[in-house]
Amino acid sequence: MLGTIELGLQLFPNTRLLYIVNDNTTTGKANKLRFENIRSQLPEELKLTFSEDKSMQQVQSEVARLDENSLVLLMSFTMDKDNYRFSFSESAQLITRSSARPVLGFWDFYLGNGIIGGVITGGFDQGQTAGKLGIATLTGNTISTLPVVETSPVIPTIDHNIAHHFGVDTDKLPNNVHILNRQLTFLEQYRKLIYLVLVIFGLLLLIVLIQATRIMRQHHNHNKLAVRVELDPLTGTKNREFFHQISNALLILQ
């Protein structure tokens, strides 16, 4: 949660208001408690507004009126004050489509539903971490030797399309930030094909060089044999074979 807010402030340093979308469900109350634990680490000048006890229509109306110095943090909004229920993807789409400002989130199921990104965690990564601990236990490690995992595995992630819409240059982001939907360059898109073509071209060039060397060697040996046929091995002078070749050529010319 803290990392997501810090990433948003890094992308939009002029932010003065953080509009926090959260409900009063059990998950929402847990989110609020977690937020209160990190509240003291946020900039003092950052104003906070919560969407609790509001309908979806009210939330949509409020995020639509936010100015350019605002950001939205979507924590959880699966049930509004009128007890209307929404899936995670549905609530994210309704809020991001209405919002005049970028919407941050820290759950993987919000990605692809309009949020600009955040320091993302998800059930798969959490389960994988738990699985590794379980395997370590089953392979003979004692509980006391295993690390205590106090934080979820997270990946800073930005949606290129949403970032581009709000004027963020994703090329200037830190290397540890994963970029979704980034348009690949020609080299990145056809890297394997280009490497394959280069390898094939290299092999063909090597075959051509080998064949050329072989032909040159054969031509050289042929010339050496031709010279030996025309010379007498003892005296080194032109022999009878050379005389016959020259005389036959002269007769043909006549």
Q: What pLDDT score does 145 carry?
A: 86
State whether residue 121 is helix, strand or coil. strand
Q: Which strands, in side-by-side order, build the sheet including 17-22?
A: 47-50, 17-22, 70-76, 103-105, 117-120, 155-159, 178-180
pLDDT band at 102 (very low <50, low <70, confident <90, very high): very high
User: pTM for the whole thing?
Assistant: 0.68
Q: Quick one: tokens of 92?
A: 């994210």
Mention every residue, 6+ apart, whose C-beta is less than 8 A from residue 127.
none
Q: How confident is the prediction for the chain on average, in pLDDT? A: 88
Residues paired with 170 in a beta bridge? none
CA angle 42, 47, 51 (to 5 degrees): 105
What does the alpha-carbon distance between residue 1 and residue 120 come to, in Å, rounded to a whole number? 9
Structure confidence by residue, pLDDT tens digits, 147-198? 887 777 788 999 999 999 999 988 888 888 999 887 766 676 778 888 899 9
What does the alpha-carbon distance between residue 31 and residue 199 come to, in Å, rounded to a whole number? 54
